[in-house]
Amino acid sequence: MMDLSFSKPGEIVQLLCERLRKERLLRQMTQAEVAARAGIGVNTVSNLEAGRNVGFETVIRVATVLGRLQELEALFKPRLDSLDDMLRYENSASRQRVKKKASHA
């Protein structure tokens, strides 16, 4: 697995778009086939593979068509390393805002 911690956002986008394109080709699907199954336009698939701005819903639709939804499910999965983390996570569901910290002048 590649360490992306020192990569710029644009570099990560480029890498993920290339992986997306390779996954489509591995499944022997055309952009038109992916687009039809995802309910989006061919230009949208092309834009996604080129790293041009597309909505997150589009990424989810294409990931679903390519059978990669499980990876997205793990994207913002909470890290619960302790009982305190679990309790904090459960209690955060009712909280709407993070309280501002007092600034020290």
- Domain 1-94, architecture per CATH: Orthogonal Bundle (1.10)
For position 98, what pLDDT does the model report?
Answer: 61
pLDDT digits (tens, 9 = 90+) for 58-94: 999 999 999 998 888 888 887 788 888 778 878 776 6
Secondary structure letter of residue 82 according to DSSP: S
In whole angstroms, what is the distance from residue 25 CA to residue 23 CA? 5
In whole angstroms, what is the distance from residue 59 CA to residue 45 CA? 9
| Number of helical H runs and strand E runs in the chain | 6, 0
In whole angstroms, what is the distance from residue 32 CA to residue 65 CA? 12
For position 87, what pLDDT does the model report?
Answer: 81
pLDDT digits (tens, 9 = 90+) for 11-49: 989 999 999 999 999 999 999 999 999 999 999 999 999
Q: How would residue 99 be classed by pLDDT, with cut points 50, 70 and 90?
A: low
Q: What 3-state class would DSSP assign to 75?
A: coil
